[in-house]
Every structure is written in structure tokens, then in C-alpha cells.
Amino acid sequence: MRKLRTVAMLLALVAGAGLGAYIQTGVLPGAHGGSAATVLAQAPAAPPEPPAPPVDLLVPATVRESTEYLVASFQVDQQEALRRLELQRTAAKLDAALRVEAADEYAGMWMDQQAGGLLMIATTDPTATQARLTGVHDSAHVRTTQVQHTLAQLTATRDALIAQLGTGAVVPHLPTISAAENRVVVWERSWAEGWSPGADPLATLDPAAADQVVARAAPPADTTSHGSPNGVPGGAVDPGFCHPHHCTGHGPMRGGMRLNGQRDNGTWGGCTAGFNVRSTGGDFPGAAWVLTAGHCVVGKTNNVPLQHNGTPVVEQHGVESNSYPYDYALLPYVDPAAATTWLDGQAEHNLVLKHCPGDPAVCGDRTTSADQPITGVTPLDSVVVNSVVCASGSASSAATYPDVTDSGAGAGFLSGTRCGLVTSTDVGINTDLCSRAGDSGGPLFDQVNQSALGILEGNLQSRTGPCAAGEVNNYSPLSTILQDAAGQLDAKGSTFSVITTPTG
């Protein structure tokens, strides 16, 4: 394991101001060209602006699971939980604008839930950044913190390292940005040694040569080791609604549903569907795919289709990889009829299944399942640390679900949807969410922004049974997956996108 060479670059906390005008107009006033009032004074006289419309607040029912997580974990009331989720929604819009309008000072952002649900904005020029943040909704909970390097500088360093070290499933050194630490980190995957040097000359760099490349980076980068997460491997009675284990006849394919696969020794295991995907161009224009974890299928040779509740749904193989964070399988439907039954013939194509993992006394009116629409994809670089995220899974044990294929979850674990925090990002998305064997491939999503983030890879623990304190699970980012898949030979020139509209 290589030692992480830490370069301290952070700190200097400065109070921030507001941002509402930006959200209303989508334009940030210049930080160095005078205040917004000065700019207006130079323009011809104009009638007074009408009052700004009220902020379009979140509908509590659409973020119920996220709200309940904050209430239970941080001992806040529902109103405070919703305020924090509103600020999380603001963060997504603000990040997109600051990357363009304030590239010469902006350095990333994160939430601080422990300090009272603050939005922290890293910047090389706090005064200039605060001038841009005029009128933001909930300005009392926005702060700036001074750092040494801008996000644009860190991005240039990362991209330069990628050009020299390479990228992809077979490359052992993967550069990434840590906004909270204001540095570039090169993750060394010492276990990723199955590449062909002849096929990828960039992958021939030995550790010493790679270290020299990292040492020459400016701003400086650091090398650390990344272990390979443990893969979380993988008919039910009809409950009368779409359940993770039984959704036959209850609408479309959704993320969070069980996919059972046959092993080469004849036994069966379970994984979880992640997101619905559509391909364009190449040999597969307009084709529908189901995304799940690569380790669920890579290496299997029996070619038996994956099933949901005893019905063959998708092929065992498609476009796939099994080397975290490139751990994914894009699986085509077994035939056009299956694609019509499970997706194309349905009214909504962009759903994730939400199911309360508890008994009726706990779940109340959520004893039946509900749907989470997905309307966008958040790339890895834009995932906000300490934001609230949710995941759905279908892990099970015969002790708890005697009529369902045992995926190894352990007695007492209940399938369904759980919410938690993004604890950090590196080559993947790290969370404190609880998952078990059989949840692999399941969707990670942001209820606030209705956005897809990644699919479950696994963890560095080996837990079974009910959830407990200290859960740690890793998700493969969708931005990483979709870019890599398009370059695969099996993609045959097609590109892939998560479906983000009902008719997509």
C-alpha cells in the first residue's frame, strides 16, 4: 500500500451571504466588474423590477424518505430537514453556474450536516465569491472557505495526469479531484493487474514511473491506495403491488427490482436492477437496456438469462466490466416482446422503485411501494459531499423471505429503500448507506434533484443481517460507467444514456 502524500491546502472560514437573484435569473453578477447596482447605473433608466416570485419549494411528499433520514439522524424537526434539502437543491444549481461564471475563483462545495446543515463553498477569493452570492435563498446557511487552488486548476491537473496515466478498467492509477481537500488524488488500484500492455501502452507504467508523473503535477497531486470493494452478489408471492421481489404485472422495469442469475455450478443468486438505459447510434439504435453490477455476470459462461420472479427478462451478458469503479453490466432484453412488456409498452420509463424496509407498524401508509422519477444524471465531479442520497435494493435471505431466492443478506435484513449521506468521493461515491448481498447494481439517487448518481458496487466490510452503525458502501458513478461503456467493443459504436423522461 502506497503512502498518501498529503498536501495541506484548506481552511480560513469566512461568513457568506445570499444567492436568490442567481436562482431566479440563472445569471451571476460579475465579481470584479462592480456590483450589480453599479452595472445597473450604467444602463438606461428602466422601470422598477417587479417583486421576485416566491421560491418554488420542495413538495414534502417527494422527499419523504430523505426527510425522515435527516430527522432521525440529526434530531431535527421536519421543517429543518426540508430546509436542508432545499439548500441541497440550491447547491446543484449553484455549482453548475459557478463553474462557468466564477471559474477563476470557484473550488467546489459540500454540505456540513453536523454544523447545522450549512452549504460550504470553497474559493480562492472569498470576497469576490460573496459578491456573486447576492440574494440566495437561505443565505444564513451559506459559507465560504478559502483554499489555494481553483476547481479549474485541479481539473487541469487531473486531466493532464489522465493523459499520461491513462483511464479505464485496466489502468491501475486513476486521478480524481477531492474538492473538500482541495487537491488531486491518484488512486492506486494494485489489484487492477489484468490489463494487456500491448493493447494499452499507457497501462504499462510501473508504480515508480507513475509516481514520477504524479510528482510533476501542478497543482500537486497525491497517491494513495484503493482496495477492491467486496462485491455484493446476488418465485415470490404477488403482494398486489410492485415489490422488489415481485413486480410482474405491476408496471415497468424499475431500479431496485430483483434480478436472479444462475451460476455456472447450477445454483442461483440475486442482484438488483439499477436504471433503465437507452442506446443511440451504432448497431443498437433505440435499444433498451437494464443496468446492474458487472460482478453479477462477468465470468459466467452458462448464458442463462437473468430472471425476475421466474420470468426471463434480460440476457446474461451485454456490455460489461468488472473492475471498480468500472463495475457495470448493460444487459439487453431477451427479445423484443420482453422489451415491450417491461419497458417500451409501459407509460413511464424513468422510474426507481421505493419500498419501505419495515413492518406495517413502522411503514404505515408506505406498506405498498411507490415510484421515484429520475429526470437527470449527476456526474461524479458534481456529487456534493454530505448531501442526502437514497438507494433501493432487493437483498434477501431465505429466513426472512422463504419464497425468494436467497442472495446471502442474512436473517433479519429487509429489502427496500434507505437514505444516508455521501461521505466522500474518489474514483467512486462513498456513502454510509446500509446494503447487503443481493443489493449489488441497485440505484443510488438524489430525491431532491430527482437525479441518478451511481449503482452499488459493494463495500470494504462483510456484514449480514440487520443494519448497524458504521455502514460503508461504495457506488460506481454513472458518468464513469456510461463513458466507459461507449468505448467497449461490444457497444459496437452505440452510446448509452440513463432514461430521464417518461417516454425516453
Confidence of residue 189 (pLDDT cuts 50, 70, 90): confident
Q: Which helix H or strand E contains 261, and what residues bound it?
A: strand 258-262
**Which of the residue ranges 315-319, 345-349, 358-362, 399-403 would you say has the lowest mean pLDDT?**
358-362
Average pLDDT over residues 28-44: 30
**Which of the residue ranges 211-225, 357-371, 451-465 would you say has the lowest mean pLDDT?**
211-225
pLDDT greater than 60 at residue 465: yes
Percent of the chain's residues with pLDDT above 70:
79
**Which of the residue ranges 127-136, 247-256, 315-324, 416-425 would you say has the lowest mean pLDDT?**
127-136
pLDDT greater than 60 at residue 265: yes
Confidence of residue 63 (pLDDT cuts 50, 70, 90): very high
Q: CA 360 → CA 356, 367, 380, distances in Å?
A: 9, 6, 36
Q: CA 427 → CA 208, 324, 438, distances in Å?
A: 21, 8, 23
More confident call, 36 vs 224: 224
**Which of the residue ranges 54-63, 231-240, 266-275 would you say has the lowest mean pLDDT?**
231-240
pLDDT greater than 80 at residue 434: yes
pLDDT, tens digit (0-9, with 9 covering 90-100), for 350-379: 999 999 987 666 787 777 889 999 999 999
The reported pLDDT for the residue numbered 439 is 94
Beta-carbon contacts of residue 145 (< 8 Å; ≥ 6 apart): 10, 11, 12, 13, 14, 120, 121, 122, 123, 126
Q: CA 439 → CA 184, 237, 468, distances in Å?
A: 31, 20, 16
**Which of the residue ranges 173-182, 229-238, 262-271, 284-293 would you say has the lowest mean pLDDT?**
229-238
Confidence of residue 402 (pLDDT cuts 50, 70, 90): confident
The reported pLDDT for the residue numbered 203 is 36
Q: At what angle do helices 207-215 and 151-165 cross, to 10 degrees?
A: 150
pTM to 2 decimal places: 0.84
pLDDT, tens digit (0-9, with 9 covering 90-100), for 267-293: 999 999 999 999 999 999 999 999 999
pLDDT greater than 80 at residue 146: yes
Confidence of residue 301 (pLDDT cuts 50, 70, 90): very high
The reported pLDDT for the residue numbered 365 is 77
Decide if 377 contacts 498 (C-beta within 8 A): yes
Percent of the chain's residues with pLDDT above 90:
67
